[in-house]
Amino acid sequence: MTANGKIALVTGASRGIGRAIALGLAQRGFDLALNDIAAQAEALKATADEARALGRRVEELHADVSDKGQVQAMVETAVERLGTVHAVVNNAGILRASDVEHCPEDYWDSVMDVNAKGTFLVVQALLPVMKAQGYGRICNISSIGGKHGAPEQAHYSASKAAVMGFTRVLAQEVGPFGITANCICPGIILTDMGRVNLDDPDVRGAWQAKTAMARIGDPGDVAGPVAFFCSDDSAFVTGQTLNVDGGIVLS
């Protein structure tokens, strides 16, 4: 799979799965617009420098994906500096664990704002660009948590289910313009966020036992499937959800 200099925007790219996706796309020949919130500027620059060392053009764009004005400015800057955007990976996400009974309202709001509304806002800002060029690849990072979920993650599960529903309808709207929209559902991946499920050795062992591959995922495990959805190899694949979980959810 080669990108022939296509340009991809990756949100939440400073660390974890977003960083691995950015580097995976860079290795496959994508130039990059890499996003994270301003507070992560140093970590984002480190990811960007790694991608530059692979010979790619890379722009660092600080924006909170849940803020419409910042998202609009981010997309305008990406297009101004790189010429266009062919593919987007909506990876930025947060998890604030709480059971339903005690879940503070702001946990619900912030998780929905970043995970669900953030995905919507980035796509909305990019659609005019993608429609004008008659080409686009939209890859939204949901979660197997949006299908099954786990205790203390009901609001997170709701946000990730929202991303899947959004993507299925989006695919129907944008298909005639040469744009595909698909979801990736990572399983249990060892990142700062994933540690919520992994710090307790018993919980970690239980997840490992539930996984056909008998191991916890690495961020790099997600990069290849995302690159597929960002490439022309998936030109006739849209509205789909792919589990990248080592075989927890079998379908």
SS3 of 1-48: the string is CCCCCCEEEECCCCCHHHHHHHHHHHHCCCEEEEEECHHHHHHHHHHH
| CA atoms within a 13 Å half-sphere pointing along the CA-CB vector of 177 | 21
Of 61, 126, 188, 248, the residue at the interface with ligand NAP (CB under 6 A) is 188
Minimum distance between the CB of residue 105 and ligand NAP, rounded to whole angstroms?
18
Stretch that binds ligand NAP, among 23-31, 138-146, 174-182, 201-209 (CB under 6 A): 138-146
- The residue from 30, 156, 207, 228 that is catalytic is 156
User: According to the binding rule CB under 6 A, does residue 66 interact with ligand NAP?
Assistant: yes
Nearer to ligand NAP, 191 or 234 (CB): 191
CB-based contacts of 101, cutoff 8 Å, min separation 6: none
- Count, residues near ligand NAP per rule CB under 6 A: 31
Please report, as residue ranges, which positions from 141 to 160 form the binding site for ligand NAP (by CB under 6 A): 141, 143, 145
Q: Is 135 a catalytic residue?
A: no
- DSSP letters for 92-145: --------TTT--HHHHHHHIIIIIIHHHHHHHHHHHHHHHHT-EEEEEE--GG
Of 1, 5, 38, 39, the residue at the interface with ligand NAP (CB under 6 A) is 39
Nearer to ligand NAP, 31 or 113 (CB): 113
What's the full length of the chain, in residues? 251
User: Left (φ > 0), alpha (ψ -120 to 50) or beta: where does 239 sit?
Assistant: left
Structure-token pair, residue 174:
């944008």
CB-based contacts of 4, cutoff 8 Å, min separation 6: 29
Please report, as residue ranges, which positions from 85 to 114 form the binding site for ligand NAP (by CB under 6 A): 91-94, 114
User: According to the binding rule CB under 6 A, does residue 37 interact with ligand NAP?
Assistant: yes
Minimum distance between the CB of residue 30 and ligand NAP, rounded to whole angstroms?
18
Minimum distance between the CB of residue 147 and ligand NAP, rounded to whole angstroms?
11
Distance between CA 25 and CA 47 in Å, rounded?
12
Of 189, 226, 227, 248, the residue at the interface with ligand NAP (CB under 6 A) is 189
Q: At what angle are helices 118-133 and 154-174 packed, to 10 degrees?
A: 10
Minimum distance between the CB of residue 196 and ligand NAP, rounded to whole angstroms?
8
**Residues acting as catalytic residues:** 156
Site residues, ligand NAP (CB under 6 A): 11-12, 14-18, 35-37, 39-40, 64-66, 91-94, 114, 118, 141, 143, 145, 186, 188-189, 191-194
